[in-house]
Structure 1
Amino acid sequence: MFENQTFEEIMERMLDRVSADIDKRENSVIWNALAPAAAELAVSYIWLDQVLNLVYADTAEGEYLDRRAAEAGLERYQASKAIWSGEFTEGVFIPAGTRFFLEDLYFTMQENGKLECETAGTSGNANLTGQTLLPLDTIPGLEKAVMGNLEIPGRDEESDESLYERYLVRVRREAVSANQLHYKQWAEEVEGVGKAKIFPLWNGEGTVKIVITNAKMEPASQVLIERVKQYIDPEPGKGEGMAPIGAYATVESAVWKDIQISAKIIPATGRTIADAKQEIEEKITLLFKEIAFKESVIRLSQINNMIYESSSVSDYSEVAINGEVKNLQLTETEIPKLGQVTIIEQD
């Protein structure tokens, strides 16, 4: 809006107001007297442009977007802590508050027998299953302390993009009166939930099925499923949670769909089949995470493009998904999971 309010433009207007019989050339007395003020005004206009951007939700960032969202009753999701199960010597009591150490992370035993990572965010989601936990306290009889499964993944602080999307849903009143978007919003508010899909009237009048993923876009654990159930409908039909009276909510996890990829390639100069396979696997894994619970089709063209764009591949042919040269349709509750990748050198 103020992009034209430059130092030169301001100086020209100021000098125009000076009598013509006074020397107004650059480095004259009057020019030098006005220049500092013009420079400061130009900086002020730059700041005014920034202020306007921070006032409106579509261009606001950080704390300014937080303040805008707060007007609509929204708060940014804070980073949450990962929850793990553990395996310990049978019959040994591990009191709540006992601390363990593993992979530069500290974990605290909770009242429910689960281990909570003391560091919030996705760092607590590392691949720790089966590794030995080191207790920081002496526990009589403890001979076995092994990390179990990741029950609820930790998540990082919500991004500006995600908060803005929720802000639009709220101000446009898209999620109201227990409609589908409202159930989706409730489910995704629960710490550890990634995405949710809603299936109304799935088992008759008043029934709603909620299918969720965890924050890593993987199938949810039973612990997370129960947490969502307690938040939305702890006493079926009684309106004790977020769901209204008369609504019967069922919460289930999404399920994996194994995807096999095969192709023939010619490796790029100086690269091997193993290099190409590793690069292709990494690209497709990222693709599957991006489209999980958003798209219900694995497109052959997407796989072709990823192989084509791989730096370790010179040429390719005969790309197939689960043995077929066509798109693969997923059900509404399936998450794609990359299985075997077969890469053969092209003749």
Structure 2
Amino acid sequence: MPAPLPTPEELTRRAEARLEAALKRIRPDASPAAIARAVRSEKGLLAAIARAHATGLYGTHLHLSWNVRQLMPDTAEAEFLIRHAAIWGVFKRPATKAVGLARFTGTPGFPVPAGLDMRLPGGGLAVTSAGGVLDGTGNATIALEAAEGGVLGNTAGGATLPIVTVQGGLDPQAAVLDADGMAGGSEEETDESLLARVLVEIREPGHGGNKNDYRVWIQNAFAVAKVATVPLWVGPGSVGVVVAMGTAVAPAVPIPAELDAMAAHLDPLRPLTAEVHVRPVVLQSVPLQLAVFPDTVPVRAAVEGAAAAHFAAEAEIGQLFARSRLSEAISAANGEYRHYLVLPPGDVLPARDALPVLGGVTWDAPP
């Protein structure tokens, strides 16, 4: 049953009532009016004692209420949420560094050192995460990572990164990112995201390297939008881990450097006999064709927003996407009275590595 927090005024009235009862026991011959004046007079000593007692007791109630909130992860403050999460093997993800590949050119055989600093177009630095040697044509493709975690390191493909310290065997004194660029940089995980992962782990705990373990292991280290674990990927003993980056609203295909980093992260965590394959998601576009009534610009915008939110919340890698649920979400859009959904014509059943995403929207005239 609910236990509302008493106010200071309520606690003061209770203290006054207890004082009056005590005085009546001590002085049974005193009149109730005299006792009330002695206890409730604003300038009286007993009234001051009652108010002081009530104030202290109110602070105790506040402290107890705060302590109780820390007992449950969904009401706990950040410090205690992190402790709850750790008990379940879920850890707050720090800011992750963007990774990628870049081409260096210069004198054949020149060694490019690990830890070589380069300037990013958006500010900050990238460093070579491993050394390399220019081949006979004077070229080498070497892995890079941002010097610091965060989205600042995400850089478009083909960008030129000037080298900070001159290297005599390189010409030009810059590296060029490959077509995939640098990706995977993210800010520190929010408390809301951590709580959502903790609740999923409580409801669907992993153990012994089952499919939920791979999800937790990936999400502890990488800001993924969706992740799916597929057993028997290429036969007995193999596991496929299919990953979508970006956000749930705007999922993206991970670049090879991100997949390599995830595979390296999973290698010491996986069961000894498991053969793990980290694979990029395939984004399966699902076009939407429908008529709405009333057919107005605000209603169309509301319907499209509701459909996008539904795809973000409901679509999962390799899982059936129900047409009826999509229609229900459209019906809940602000201002929509009725609609006629033409596409998709039925439920969408993606391949095991595919994620349904909202495609183009075609509007028909209402019948």
TM-score, normalising length: structure 2: 0.70
Three-state SS of the structure 1 residue aligned to 2:359 is strand
Q: Check whether the contact 1:263–1:316 (CA below 8 A) recurs between aligned residues.
A: no
Cα distance change on mapping 1:277 and 1:309 into 2, 3 Å: closer
Q: By how many angstroms is 1:298 displaced? A: 4.7
Q: Residue type matched to 2:126 in 1?
A: T
Q: Check whether the contact 1:300–1:321 (CA below 8 A) recurs between aligned residues.
A: no
What is the CA deviation profile of residues 233-265 of structure 1, one whole-angstrom value per residue up to 9, with x for unaligned ones? 4xxxxxxx3223333222322211122122345
Aligned counterpart, 1:237: none
CA distance in 1, matches of 2:100, 2:232: 34
1:248-327 aligned within 5 A: 248-264=275-291, 267-268=295-296, 271=297, 283-293=306-316, 296-299=320-323, 302=326, 305-306=329-330, 309=333, 317-322=339-344, 324=345, 326-327=346-347
Aligned counterpart, 2:77: 61
Aligned counterpart, 2:11: 10
1:153-232 aligned within 5 A: 153-164=184-195, 166-167=197-198, 174-216=205-247, 217-232=251-266
Q: Check whether the contact 1:211–1:253 (CA below 8 A) recurs between aligned residues.
A: yes
Aligned counterpart, 1:247: 274
What is the CA deviation profile of residues 66-109 of structure 1, one whole-angstrom value per residue up to 9, with x for unaligned ones? 133344554321121333445x6855998744332434x43413
Q: By how many angstroms is 1:63 displaced? A: 0.8
CA distance in 2, matches of 1:331, 1:55: 42
Unaligned runs of 5+ in 1: 234-240
Aligned counterpart, 2:349: 329
Three-state SS of the structure 1 residue aligned to 2:260 is helix
What is the CA deviation profile of residues 110-144 of structure 1, one whole-angstrom value per residue up to 9, with x for unaligned ones? 2353454456344655xx53575574748653588
Q: Check whether the contact 1:54–1:64 (CA below 8 A) recurs between aligned residues.
A: yes
Aligned counterpart, 1:238: none
Q: By how many angstroms is 1:172 displaced? A: 8.0
Three-state SS of the structure 2 residue aligned to 1:208 is strand
Cα distance change on mapping 1:189 and 1:32 into 2, 3 Å: closer
Q: Check whether the contact 2:310–2:329 (CA below 8 A) recurs between aligned residues.
A: no
Q: Residue type matched to 2:326 in 1?
A: Q
1:64-143 aligned within 5 A: 64-72=80-88, 74-85=90-101, 91=106, 96-103=115-122, 105-112=123-130, 113-117=142-146, 120-122=149-151, 124-125=153-154, 129=156, 133=160, 135=162, 137=164, 141=172
CA distance in 2, matches of 1:338, 1:297: 11
Is 1:343 paired with 2:338?
Answer: no
Cα distance change on mapping 1:135 and 1:246 into 2, 3 Å: closer
The structure having more radius of gyration, on CA atoms, is: 2
**Alpha-carbon RMSD:** 3.9
Q: Residue type matched to 1:249 in 2?
A: V
How many residues align? The count is: 327
TM-score, normalising length: structure 1: 0.74
